[in-house]
Amino acid sequence: MDTDQKKLLDRYTINTNGINIQVEIVLSEEKYVPLYLVSIMNISDTTKIILEKIREEFVSKLDVSEIEENKQEESEDLKRKFTLSIARLIQKYFPQSDEKTKSTLINYLLQENLGLGKIDILLKDKFLEEIVVNNHTEPVWVYHKTFGWLETNIKIMTEARIRHYATMIGRDVNKEITALNPLMDAHLMTGDRVNATLSPISTKGNTITIRKFEEDPWTITRFLEAGTITIEAAALIWLGMQNELSIIIAGGTGSGKTSMLNVISNFLPPNQRIISIEDTRELQLSKHLHWVPMETRLPNPEGKGGVTMLDLLVNSLRMRPDRIIVGEIRRKEEAQVLMEAMHTGHSVYATIHANNAEETITRLTNPPIEIPKQMLSSLSMIVVQNRNRRTGKRRTMQIAEINKVGDPRILLQYNAMKDSQDKIADSENIMSTISLYTGMTTEQILADLKQKENILRWLLEKNIRTINEIGKFMANYYTGKVKITK
């Protein structure tokens, strides 16, 4: 393909274990999506040819059956053995190289032979949200925070290699994927969420989908900076959180439900016990909080040892929680326990798949969840997240309160034309509930709301944006050690 047929959209460098990787994102006339091109910068093509010969020699001496038999061996010990073997081969073929060059070459070969190969390069790119292997005949795809879905120049050479990667990922977290169990939800040791499927369940080949763990977790200031939510909407959620109102976050896949769950946890006080329950650990709360994270577990091949969301929910009620955070509501039993928790005085925060407030109520009150509508009055607020697939923008689409008969009342609504969150109605139920339990008048509640808006502006001005910085500020705010009078 001629160079003049490509338009460069972005170029940057990432470093993985001393190997410099150049990333170019280009628009090609022959493709309908941009291309994500990776190239290793500090290793020449000639060197790569020699390294491939070393790799073949190394693999030929490798006792694969011995490695498979010793699955309990620590990965670091295995890596140390491999490093010593590869170092001897590097010395044989590159005797004049300095230590830094040898280290780079060793890391390159380790990357090719251990771990996830070139997928490990993609995992180092902080701009990527998703990494997708569809089969061995197609390139790996990635979802970029700026450019959306991109086709890479990386391929996994065989279906066996894709299956090997999936097996290795599962083994690290005591999960397995086999012909009898061809679907697997797991996570990498770094926290990145993984889903894998085996052929013929996925008819074109084995698949791996990696949802990257956010190294810099989303916080309220980052949401405000990105335009995901307005200060007024954020202050209203904070008001509800401080006064222990239960909230459900709704939205479609990839709309930012879990990110919003993480963001609203910024508003939790330090002197209350928080229990979080997830299928795969994604939440990252401030170190200044009293937080106990819990995770479900699949049964073993004999069908024993499984720990479900319902098991953890029931158990959490025996752990004296003040707040309960649930990754996602899927089944009737889970929803019933959550509603019971709300009715017994616990504050509950959870996510659900629904596209708007009305649909959220419909999902909660119909099969398979099927909660009686009159029970929904204990739920105070619905926050709806939305992602525009054309622009990639994630926005808080609606904030609604629930009235006494379980119907939603929209307070704030996203206006896509103006990219704004417009006020639809004044709160009635939220205000009356807060007034009932605090004794505050409507004027006092509105004054508190205004102060929260000022504090959020101050956090933006002072660039207080990390999870622990905000956690420390909130801890000081709740304990009266800091006052914002602006």
Which among 328, 334, 370 is positioned nearest to 353, based on CA atoms?
A: 328
Q: What is the pLDDT of residues 228-266, one digit of tens each?
A: 999 999 999 999 999 999 999 999 988 999 999 999 999
For residue 337, give the 3-state DSSP assignment.
Answer: helix
The answer to whether the peptide bond before residue 368 is cis (omega within 30 degrees of 0) is: yes
Q: 105-109, 332-336, 417-421, 423-427: lowest mean pLDDT where? A: 105-109
What does the pLDDT read at residue 76?
Answer: 64
CA 321, 325, 331: angle at the middle one, nearest 5?
115
DSSP 3-state of 111: helix
Q: What percent of the chain has pLDDT over 90?
A: 63
Higher pLDDT, 70 or 282: 282
Rounded Cα–Cα distance for residues 191 and 268 (Å): 23
Question: Above 70 in pLDDT, residue 307?
Answer: yes
Distance of CA 325 to the CA centre of its chain: 15
Angstrom distance (rounded) from CA 276 to CA 265 = 11
Q: Would you say residue 470 has pLDDT above 90?
A: yes
Strand, coil or helix: 60: helix
pLDDT of residue 173: 83
Measured over the CA atoms of residue 199, residue 201, residue 207 and residue 212, the dihedral's sign is: negative
C-alpha closest to that of 298 among 178, 204, 387: 178
Look at residue 343 and give its three-state secondary structure: helix
Region 130-149: what's the mean pLDDT? 95
How many whole angstroms from its chain centre is CA 163?
23
Q: Residue 192: left (phi > 0), alpha (psi -120 to 50), or beta?
A: beta
- Structure confidence at residue 483 as a pLDDT band (50, 70, 90): low
Task: Mark out the alpha helices in 251-403 (DSSP H runs).
Answer: 257-264, 309-316, 332-343, 357-365
Predicted structure pTM score: 0.79
Mean pLDDT on 126-145: 95
Find out whether 277 and 384 touch, Cβ atoms under 8 Å: no
What digits encode the pLDDT tens for the residues 77-88?
666 777 887 788
pLDDT at 53 > cutoff 80: no
- Give the three-class secondary structure for 239: helix
Residues 169-212 pLDDT 10s? 998 888 889 998 899 988 898 888 899 999 999 999 999 999 99
**69 falls in which pLDDT band (50, 70, 90)?**
very low
